[in-house]
Amino acid sequence: MSDKIRVRYAPSPTGDLHIGNARTALFNYLFARSQDGTFIIRTEDTDTKRNLEHGEQSQLDNLTWLGIDWDESPVNPGEYGPYRQSERLHIYQPLIDDLLARDLAYKCYMTEEELEAEREEQKARGEMPHYGGKHAHLTKEEQEAFEAEGRQPVVRFRVPANVTYQFDDIVKGPLSFESKNISGDWVIQKRDGMPTYNFAVTVDDHMMKITHVLRGDDHIANTPKQMMIYDAFGWDYPEFGHMTLIINAETNKKLSKRDGGILQFIEQYRNLGYLPEAMFNFIALLGWSPKGEEEIFSPQELVEQFDPERLSTSPASFDKKKLEWINNTYMKAADLDTVVNYALPHLQKEGKVSAEPNSEELAWVKKLVSLYHEQISYGAEIVEASSLFFNDKLELSEEAKEIMQAETSSIVVKAMKDKLQALSEEDFVASNIKPLTKEIQKETGIKGKNLFMPIRIAVSGQMHGPELPDMIEVLGKKKVLNHIQQVISF
């Protein structure tokens, strides 16, 4: 095994990058970078029926967007390639043949129908369904007879009897498994010649000199099977670490891909206009805790602080509100041009802004976004937040209507209308609009809420919103006067 730390993230190209897989990739990345180690991407593409044409590229693109880079992969191979399992069959086959020759594995010719019938019989007897070993000791003649029928065998590994598999998990501490609890001799090679996950991953980790395997809690049951393969070839184990489950903070249940309450793929957050640095920060806190109370970290700070011993033994809570808070914190810290870049595509998608805006329209969008720079948590929120700027017809709440029925309301609204009407288009800017309320206060004696609230409702239809002079400027003279006239008509 290598003296230098070598870790890997091994996705299947069967879909987009899931939050749980992104966390696995991120923790391996942080571990490698914090220890001056090597981070490897290896594609596990032996499930040919489920592989997507662009599945691998989608994984790599989303990792890159998050800010994760790597040292070896299918696109920049190192000395331990190939880095796609489908291209490593010439490595697996001699090893499978060796296990067969040493009678540590055997060919099983049972059909799917026969296996299903066996499972049903076991269920009827109240047993846990498992492979019962019917083909564990076939004679050469029996094998030849099955092959004459045209049966394609799988290759099964003989589970050793009465062996205890123990390891010191980086996260969970000492763990042990009894071989008798493994549900029968398990398949290492499928009928189509492809190796199964537990066989291929073990061979790959050994051949690529992986020193530490950090992965999700759901892989714990795979570990003893993989240890059997290490033992069969006399290979050293890597260090294993199994990160706890991610749960939905609202339901306290395991985060499931069928859980509609949470967006679960990195692509979805990209499309909503989340900042990659914020996602990097948030995911790093799913099952790992830094020293101290601070929760906002740059990627480099997370590299410097990362310690696998601080991986949590309790389930990681996916809190949507915390994610929005972290992203909002990054949005506030970003310059306005950056926020505009995240917000503009969503205004365009909804038809609020031209697909190819000219310089004048872009300048207006910049002013619009500036009103909500502190408020929005991600780019797509600009659409709902700024809806009043795109609605020609006002709809007042009952509370707003009640305020507008006060005698003083009509006085200040008509006064504001006259003053705004007197401004030219060129002078219709916040610096000229701001003094107008003071003038109305002096002229009418009306002040405070009775002054400002009716004006705000009249120009926007809302009781709360951005700074009034700025909002009036961005609305523009024509729309503001139209709004005021609607309210007067009410």
Q: How far apart are CA 362 and CA 339, in angstroms?
A: 13
Q: Which of 43-57, 309-323, 350-364 has the lowest mean pLDDT?
A: 43-57
Q: Which residues contact 477 (CB under 8 A, 6 or more apart)?
A: 420, 423, 425, 428
Q: How confident is the model at residue 152 (pLDDT cuts 50, 70, 90)?
A: very high
- Give the integer Cα–Cα distance in Å for 78 and 68: 18
Please check whether residue 479 is in contact with residue 388, taking contact to mean a CB–CB distance below 8 angstroms.
no
* Residue 1: per-residue pLDDT: 55
pLDDT per residue as tens digits for the range 301-310: 999 999 999 9
Tokens at 79, concatenated: 């000395």
- 47 class by beta-carbon count within 10 Å (0-12 exposed, 13-18 middle, 19+ buried): middle
Q: Is the pLDDT score of 316 beyond 60?
A: yes
Range from 185-194, 244-253, 311-320 carrying the lowest mean pLDDT:
244-253
pLDDT tens-digit readout, 398-418 = 999 999 999 899 999 999 999
Instruction: Compute the average pLDDT of residues 269-293.
Output: 96
Residue (of 466, 273, 259) closest to 377 by Cα position: 273
Element (H, E) at 396: none
Tokens of 148: 């004459």
Percentage of the chain exceeding pLDDT 90: 89
Average pLDDT of the chain to the nearest whole number = 94
Question: Do residues 85 and 46 touch, judged by C-beta distance below 8 A?
Answer: yes
pLDDT digits (tens, 9 = 90+) for 216-271: 999 999 999 999 999 999 999 999 999 999 999 888 888 876 777 788 999 999 99
Inform me whether the pLDDT recorded for 2 exceeds 70. Answer: no
Q: Classify 194 as helix, strand or coil.
A: coil
Other residues' Cβ atoms within 10 Å of the Cβ of residue 163: 15
Residue 4's pLDDT band (cuts 50, 70, 90): very high
Model's pTM, two decimal places? 0.91
Q: What's the mean pLDDT in 406-433?
A: 95
The 10s digit of each residue's pLDDT in 330-365 is 999 999 999 999 999 999 999 999 999 999 999 999
Which range has the worst mean pLDDT, 237-241, 300-304, 393-397, 467-471?
393-397
How confident is the model at residue 261, as a pLDDT?
Answer: 75
Q: What is the largest CA-CA distance in the chain?
A: 110
Q: For 71-106, what is each residue's pLDDT tens digit?
A: 999 999 999 999 999 999 999 999 999 999 999 999
Residue 297 and residue 276: Cα distance in Å, rounded? 13
Residues 6+ away with beta carbon under 8 Å from 411: 444, 446
pLDDT on residue 41: 98
Query: Could you tell me if 196 and 28 are in contact, meaning their C-beta atoms sit under 8 angstroms apart?
Result: no
DSSP state of 444: H
Determine the Cα–Cα distance for residues 99 and 93; give it in Å rounded to an integer.
10
